[in-house]
Structure 1
Amino acid sequence: MVLNFTKINSIPVLPKRRDNLNKFSTYIVLSDQNNQLSLQWKHQPSLQRNLKLYEEKHQEFSNLFCHQDKGIDIANFWRKVAFDESQLIGNWEPSNKIQLAYEHLASYFEERCYWAAKDLSKERNANSWEEYLCIARLLVYNPLNLKEILVKYNYKSANIDTYISNVLTNHIKFSADVSRFSRWRLLYKKSDKELIEALKVFGIIEPEISLIIFARKYFKQVYLINKVKNPARITGKKWIAPDEEDFSKSAQCYNAEKVLPTAPHEVFANSTKVTAKQIKDWMEICIKALESYPISILPKFSLDAFQSGEFEVKSELQVSEIEWEKISSTEDTREQGFLANQANSILSEQLQSMKLDAQKILLLYYGFGFNQKQLADRLGMNQSTISRYLTKSTIKLLEAIARISQPQQWVKQYVKRWLENDYHTPVHSDLIQAALVSAIKKLGNEEREVLQLYYGEQMDEIKIASQLGTGLSEIVTRVTKARNILQEKLMKEINIWMKEYLEKWLVNYYKSLLKVVLKNEPKLGKGELKLEEKIYLLEIYIQNQLY
């Protein structure tokens, strides 16, 4: 649904925040209930935790916090925290206390944003209420701008609420008069990650989120060429609204690209061609989600840069670890933990049952990082012999893992169940489902097409055969072939995961073993042992365990 306010009396009423906890830890969101728009307050847990921490640990703040009429005084408290030049942090305070102070202030000023936007709408154009609100919130949720505003505040001239209201009103007027703000620029500039986050809060779920993100990709390309980079547009002027031609061209690009292997799985699985109206509706939803969700407005800065006044975007890349639980077919976490413990036990037993030479090679290779040539020189063996020892030993250990996970027994049923239940909305954070999505993208055109019709559109074999102009037996064969290919590819992936898991397990095993041995070594207290001494102690330990 495209949300729009057309009259001043259609602007939703802003609910009152009942206490100081809410006044400094909530933000405005738009919601649609029974086709009636309303505004609600949404909590930010990190801000709530910080308020309760200061209430418990800071006497001045606690005295203010218990009085519900002290909102202005509490705002001034956080202003002092934000401007604390000493930057001293108490042993109980969070390391990002300055950033949190600005976020508390932005939360408190949400009401000022609402009233400034609403009051201006009465004077000007009621249709611009949402735009005015977004202009105001973009100002208070940018710490750079908010800091500049608060530096100029003089408590002797007016209270902080009145001061902020005047600043917001003037800022909205200026931005609107010179046409600086554009909701289409907001849509264009925000990252996929921010947009996805905003859409989720707005109530959009998969697979529609993936469809919207894919649509915006092509809308941005068309809009950039037709409007932003258009020679007729004067540089520095407001980004104008797209027209029907822009949406139509975006829909053409979307439909042409959705069948390619590079398209997201959710997009390919949805065979319906999109229209210009659908693209337009999706882009409006994106704008509404971004305007109503301040986390997507709020820049994310590193604390050091924040304190020095030079802001830098913080990297949010996270490297996921391969975990044994992801290899298991069971969905019960307690059973997964049991399997992990079982793997540790069985692998340890397998290691201890190997001959001494094999154990020494594994120790030096995984425990101390020797390569095959270094091992050959050290042990007086051919490098090919070292390679055979490593291969034979790891195969033995991998077979032990396979006996626990038994993928050959559950992969077939897992693939069938996934195709039937989760084909449209795979969980990409799940290693197995992500592997299946990747495998589908690598299928031939015939296999991809028949899977899309059979599981995507849920057509039976007879209808598929009629649509593709082929025999029923041919369709059955194609569906079976596609499933078998997915099973084979998943088995290969599982073998790779088990190998990766084993390598990490061996490294961690020998590191842990070294700690156990060195813990009881008297020389350790007199200084760090040399590499050769560590190797000698571990070899003796392994030999004693063997005999």
Structure 2
Amino acid sequence: MRSRQSILEIFSTFLQFESDSATRWVSDARLRRSMQRCLEESDEQDLSEMVWSLYWHRLWQADSHPLAVAHLSAYLQEVCFWSARKLALNIGSSQSLADFFQIAIVKIHRVLQGFNPQHSSGLKRYASLAFSNVIKDTLRLRQEVDICTDWALMHKLSHKRFVESLQNFGLDASAIAERVFAWQCFKIIYAPAQGKGLRKLAKPDLSTLQAIVDLYNRDRVATLGATAQPCNPALLEQWLTTCGKAARSYLYPSLISADTPQPGAENTEMLDNFESTFQESNLSQIIEAEEEDQRKQTRSQLNATLLKALVKLDLPAQRLLQMYYGKGMTQQEIAKELDTKQYTVSRRLTNLKQSLLQILAEWSQTTLHQTLNSNVVSNMSTILEEWLKLHYSHPDLPS
């Protein structure tokens, strides 16, 4: 497998497998046009592939470009291939290299969700580990799903995954609530001893189904509300059978290639359903707009942090800050007003600002992950001074 060279190729081509081998790169016309437009509109002509990967990742996070995930999927083809190849060589499995590759790349959203540009040296390095974990997790899960019956599988599911499987199946909130409660009753009544044939658990017999129904009907109003309808063994069996199929489908989905022909339209592919109405903006303008949004969010968080700190101050401290920043009084005027010494006022103001500055520094370390040094602290002190002046000049307005 040759390595791709140009930015255009890296973000618009996909591996083609033949007989479990990656034979060549196939260009996607739509992605190629999209990437070509971006390159033409970019003010910087020599941006690295890492910069472009961060650009598409930002658009994917903002859900502002229908082809962002496809561009990132193209970008990560080689990483996914080598992760799949390594596991295919080291893990004894009936799955082929192409199967491993498909298992990993279909979870591209999971990889992108876990990637944090601030905490990683690059998307490729992160994806290499993430794809390996995806394949390993899927193999472990599939082995368990293959071995278990549907009835045993429902005993092993967590509440979170059980609900997610029903949501994925398309049930509404009311139907999910009924089936979740029925599932809980099922686990209480029909619970074989651990390790004794649990994986091969068969369908409950009629007497067991009736016991589950009795428990369900007894507590349904307290659990589901007054409008909950009674259940019967036939309905319960139908519910649980559906739940088992939904869980298996959710945990072990069928993999369908994006270039599979659409039913009844063999000349078209699923990729053709991607919308292409997005008009690419200039790269620098998009990044600038996103950075402005980030700055607004940061200012909002800073404002909330300092307001919370001011509320916790005692009344004399709040009055002192109001006189100094709100009314513009000098320290001598404040000392005369409070019948105290000027140096006392100065010391109290200094202590108050130091306290607020400490809170601001802690927020900066926790939220912005900034390393404190003299320049950063000096800049924070200036920000705090300006914030206090603005706040006490217009205390009823957001700063």
TM-score, structure 2 length as denominator? 0.37
TM-score (norm 1): 0.27
